[in-house]
């Protein structure tokens, strides 16, 4: 009888240990599953790239980005972007929708969304974000990285 009680106690302890392990790792598995589900939902988020510029360098920055497109970004669009980010009423550190640029890329028309974050610590500094079709954003990103390499950044 002692052996049977000892065996039952052993089974009870083992079952408790298994339950504790399942509880701990089961929670982690649920968290991982939720993260994967959230990631799958985020696949709808458009690809983005960014570049920073001083306010005075915006025309040159957009001329650099124009190398990616079949036709350069219009001066009128660049001037509107410059005017918008130079607006002193824009709060620092907040991302603003600045423009939607219709551009020609590899023979087809597409739209690039331009958002900007403005900082005014020592002059006006702007961080531009570009979203749109994946191939266009990747081409912009490649051009931006090449530019940063040229600068040694």
45-81 pLDDT per residue, tens = 567 888 999 999 999 999 999 999 999 999 999 999 9
| Residue 143 in this model has a pLDDT that exceeds 80 | yes
- Helices H, strands E: what count in the chain? 4, 4
What's the mean pLDDT in 131-147?
Answer: 92
DSSP, res 25: H
pTM for this model (two decimals): 0.69
Contact 125, 118 (CB under 8 A): yes
| Residue 23 in this model has a pLDDT that exceeds 60 | no
Q: Which two tokens stand for residue 12?
A: 């009870």
74-117 pLDDT per residue, tens = 999 999 999 999 999 999 999 999 999 999 999 999 999 999 99
Q: Which two tokens stand for residue 105?
A: 């890329």
Beta-strand pair 95-105/48-54:
unpaired
Q: pLDDT value at position 117? A: 94
Q: Which spans in 43-153 are helix H?
A: 58-66, 75-86, 134-151
Q: pLDDT value at position 3? A: 54
């Amino acid at each position: 009888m002692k052996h049977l009680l000892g065996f039952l106690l052993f089974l009870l302890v083992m079952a408790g240990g298994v339950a504790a392990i399942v509880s701990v790792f089961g929670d982690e598995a649920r968290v991982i599953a939720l993260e994967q589900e959230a990631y799958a939902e985020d696949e709808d988020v458009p690809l983005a790239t960014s570049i920073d510029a001083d306010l005075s360098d915006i025309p040159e920055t957009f001329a650099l980005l124009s190398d990616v497109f079949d036709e350069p970004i219009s001066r009128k669009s660049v001037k509107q972007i410059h005017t918008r980010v130079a607006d002193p009423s824009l709060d620092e550190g907040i991302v603003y929708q600045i423009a939607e640029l219709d551009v020609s890329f590899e023979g087809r028309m597409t739209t690039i969304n331009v958002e900007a974050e403005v900082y005014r610590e020592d002059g006006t500094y702007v961080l531009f974000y570009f979203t749109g079709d994946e191939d266009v954003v990747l081409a912009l990103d490649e051009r931006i990285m090449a530019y940063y390499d040229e600068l040694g950044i």
